[in-house]
Structure 1
């Protein structure tokens, strides 16, 4: 079986998922090729990827036309085209329509549609692409419903597992000395409550609400944000957070250590599917406070605290309540870790994808 993966610009969860899925499929004997943006290939070290992004149907720039025809030629050499995201879905649907022989088209929705794609011509194009697919999957239940609302059929849930969960589950809890050393090395006080957020610096993550929650907190905690992204957004939020213990640590390669050192994990996103970092925080046995949106309620269940999107006061109340109640923190942390132990691994998900591809080819 030969599969062509299409994924656009991503330095976060989508790229991480595709990276692990491609590796696992190849280990299982599937021949996988990649079409992506140069920045995504560089981020994940995809040296063998076809760097044919950005492309759009009808693009008139000479280079764009060359890339577009190369994608169409590639689709005629594979059995399955698997597009990740709505932009990739449109590109793949046009390419598959013109390919000879025609491969099967699979689309995975990882994110909610932005407002500009919910009505008008753009929405009709996305809906057309999803209806052309032989299978559409959503990374969360609301994305499954979105695909059905847009006319896709068949549609099913395909959860995305964090590649980092297994190692975190296998690790020991951080000792007080390890926590103190980690914090001191980052220029923070060695003790006191620690609230951790791991997030791209992007509007979707609603860091303004996080800053407002930290400002109103009365628990004496240090709040840290780990992640890179929009420098202008970071500067804006840092100005909002002036005078309060909210610290931006930038991108780091020791995120699991920070999760194990945290007393509470917070994510104030406007929307998420099954956020990989929430999975990892739960595997670390950290009580989580996350927004009630997308796939987070199904992911967290009763193993964390769900708050309304954009409600800084609710975030503050939840964090301060947990920091003031060690027994409740331990109870929720243990429940979160127990929940994480029951999740499918990335390898399990890859095997399920091979089954989906085979079933799609038989239809």
Structure 2
């Protein structure tokens, strides 16, 4: 039985939509059931209000300081915020937040948790290597517990830090999606019940695999009843739209339709495809599990920790392999249903936001105790 609520300050660089989201909206929505109260602090920049509004609607207290990156005023500003809200511990999610949060925690004698959301495996030059070493040393000295969202990060962290002591693996969670009108969402795309809707919700950026996906779509059997929708957005969107328009194999099958809420279309989809060239723990793939649909992913990074043989297909980074997996799933409704049921079960057991919040609370309590 939970005792009094635990107030936790989550520090991020920015609440701008282009910054990392870190699952905090989902965590805020599930926090009360785990006895947590969230104070989300954006140190740098300023968002457009959407993310702050979503956090507040989910029950979090939001503070934005709007400072420049690495502004020396960040530490005193964060100190004032922590004192004002009487937090019991600090949880950081980005390099700038790691520095400001650790410095403030030292002054207030509060424990610091820090989540690793990326892998910095290839420093560009000597200066980058020195920065990575400095951050690793600071983490070892000032951070109480470091959280990896993927087992993949454990091996990386051991290489750069020399030890994985104090590191715990705890994947981020995703909120259970709101139901959508499936028939209406598909009708907007001109799809009927017999058509197979394949959705890619990855951002349209370099390395996210849309070029490989289009190569695979061009290799699909012409009579396969599959429509592929790219719902993400990003700097590669004009190039993707131009390629789809000029290639006959793509223009009749691929729709480029960036949406304000890309995961919503997953509720109306039959298959998700996410063939990025590197990824640690993408929430878009977890949302595919939540939608109860099979997921085709590349066999890279932390993706094999999300999608198993029972919930989808892991494929090498070749157009032929992606095309074969999509053809298999688009041709077999019974297989899709079986994999989709297993995907939903895996989401509920491992990635649902309520369970994530409860596991975080247990981790916090074990340290405070």
Tell me whether the two structures share a fold, i.e. TM-score over 0.5. Answer: yes
* Corresponding residue SS for 1:332: helix
What TM-score do you get using the length of structure 2 for normalisation? 0.80
In the TM superposition, residue 28 of structure 1 has moved relative to its aligned partner by 4.9
What TM-score do you get using the length of structure 1 for normalisation? 0.81
Task: Indicate how the Cα distance of structure 1 residues 147 and 54 shifts in structure 2: closer, same or farther if over 3 A, else same.
Answer: farther
Task: Indicate how the Cα distance of structure 1 residues 328 and 30 shifts in structure 2: closer, same or farther if over 3 A, else same.
Answer: closer
Is 1:215 equivalent to 2:228 in the alignment?
Answer: no
How many equivalent pairs are there?
Answer: 340
The answer for unaligned runs of 5 or more in structure 2 is: 1-5
For residues 331 and 313 of structure 1, the distance between their equivalents in structure 2, rounded to whole angstroms, comes to: 24
Aligned to 2:206: 203
Per-residue CA distance 1:84-107 (angstroms, 9 max, x = gap): 1344323433443xx423221110
CA contact (8 A) 1:135 1:153 kept: no
Per-residue CA distance 1:297-341 (angstroms, 9 max, x = gap): 122122210012x42222112111222333433332233233334
For residues 214 and 199 of structure 1, the distance between their equivalents in structure 2, rounded to whole angstroms, comes to: 16
Is 1:163 equivalent to 2:175 in the alignment?
Answer: yes
Task: Kindly report the root-mean-square deviation, in angstroms, between the aligned alpha carbons of the 2 structures.
Answer: 3.1
In the TM superposition, residue 68 of structure 1 has moved relative to its aligned partner by 4.0
Aligned to 2:134: 125
Task: Indicate how the Cα distance of structure 1 residues 137 and 300 shifts in structure 2: closer, same or farther if over 3 A, else same.
Answer: same
Which structure dedicates a bigger proportion of its chain to helix?
1
Aligned to 2:256: 248
In the TM superposition, residue 29 of structure 1 has moved relative to its aligned partner by 4.8
For residues 24 and 263 of structure 1, the distance between their equivalents in structure 2, rounded to whole angstroms, comes to: 28
Q: Select the residue among 225, 229, 249 that pairs with 2:230.
A: 225
Aligned to 1:142: 152
Aligned to 2:338: 331
Q: Select the residue among 297, 318, 339 that pairs with 1:311.
A: 318
For residues 268 and 55 of structure 1, the distance between their equivalents in structure 2, rounded to whole angstroms, comes to: 35
In the TM superposition, residue 204 of structure 1 has moved relative to its aligned partner by 4.3
In the TM superposition, residue 134 of structure 1 has moved relative to its aligned partner by 0.8
CA contact (8 A) 1:6 1:34 kept: yes
CA contact (8 A) 2:22 2:93 kept: no
Per-residue CA distance 1:267-322 (angstroms, 9 max, x = gap): 112233343332332233322101112322122122210012x4222211211122
CA contact (8 A) 2:9 2:39 kept: yes
Task: Indicate how the Cα distance of structure 1 residues 55 and 148 shifts in structure 2: closer, same or farther if over 3 A, else same.
Answer: farther
CA contact (8 A) 1:116 1:122 kept: no
